[in-house]
Amino acid sequence: MDAESSTDLELVVTRIIDAPRRLVFQAWTDPEQVARWWGPQGFVTTYSDMNIRPGGAFRLCMRSPTGTDHWKRGTYREIVEPERIVFTFAWEDADGNPGHELLTTVTFAEHGARTRLTLHQAAFETAERCDDHRGGWTSCFERFAEYMTTARMT
Amino acid sequence: MVPHSMPPDRLTATFSALADPTRRAILARLVSGEASVTALAEPFEMSLPAISKHLKVLERAGLIVRSRDAQWRPCRLKAAPLKDVADWLEHYRHFWEQSLDRLEDHLRDVQRKEKRLGRGKQH
């Protein structure tokens, strides 16, 4: 398992995007642009309220191709132009209560004229932003990943 | 496709059980094999009753089982709920991959427009 792949309770997605970093960062921090792309293919953003600053909240509704509404919400923790955005993210249930919150870190790095976008989503770091915890947690789930691999083979 | 369409109840129980560094450390220890409560308590500055409380939470969430046979009732990891969490996170991967596909399309449009307006970089 290399550093670019996810351990079992962390998600890492990396993409080289054929656009300069300035534009990629803007696409994440301009509410009008975010509403155009955030969501799976065929989904339409029907409501968007985004306060893009540290501590600011966001809430959006996406409508599926079959007409089902899905609400997502969160809070921005860091906005560091043009290199990093950190926010919490949760889906709401049918009653509007947020489900389990994920901490999402998006980093934008220059890659020649293009941009390397890395998205890291962690299941349990929201309550413990402290870096001290990070090592232990990561290694815990590396071991868990190994364990799962072994379990599958037997 | 959308993560919250996953069955929520068991996931919620698993998440609240995992939302504690001591309990996660206990699970990490159990990855290498079963252990007694005393052995599990050793690395923590915590009383045995406090550790037992954590174990009860993990047991209720179905993350560990405690043997009835041996007198020292060793704890053992049960990985199935963790697998559910891992699957749930995988749904997010699809969500983000598709969003990033759309982001790329969107940025192609933005750059075409910039070029037309002559604001694009010349080299």
Q: Rounded distance, CA A94 to CA B8, Å?
A: 11
Which residue from B minimizes the CA distance to A7? Answer: B86
Q: DSSP 3-state assignment of B109?
A: helix
Q: Is B28 on the interface with A (CB under 8 A)?
A: yes
Residue A127 has what pLDDT? 43
Nearest 5°: CA angle at B18, between B60 and B70?
Answer: 45
Q: Is the whole model's pTM more than 0.95, yes or no?
A: no
How would residue A53 be classed by pLDDT, with cut points 50, 70 and 90? Answer: very high
- The H helix count followed by the E strand count for chain B is 5, 2
Q: Is B6 on the interface with A (CB under 8 A)?
A: no
Å between B15 CA and nearest CA of chain A:
7
**Dihedral class, residue B62 (left if φ above 0, else alpha if ψ from -120 to 50, else beta):** left
User: How is residue A53 written in tokens?
Assistant: 């600053």
Contact by Cβ (8 Å): A117, A126: no
ipTM, two decimals, is: 0.78
User: How is residue B64 written in tokens?
Assistant: 């560990």
For residue A67, pLDDT over 80 is answered with yes
Mutation for A interface: B98, B103, B123, most A CBs within 10 A: B103
Q: Is the peptide bond before A82 cis (omega within 30 degrees of 0)?
A: yes
Per run of 10 residues, the mean pLDDT along chain B (length 123 residues) is 60 87 87 90 90 95 87 88 85 94 97 83 52
Please judge whether B107 and A27 are an interchain contact, meaning their C-beta atoms are less than 8 angstroms apart.
Answer: yes
A41 contacts on B by Cβ (under 8 Å)? 98, 101-102
Predicted confidence (pLDDT) per residue in A131-150, tens digit: 444 444 444 444 444 544 45
User: How is residue A127 written in tokens?
Assistant: 């309550």
Predicted confidence (pLDDT) per residue in A7-45, tens digit: 347 889 999 999 999 999 999 999 999 999 999 999 999
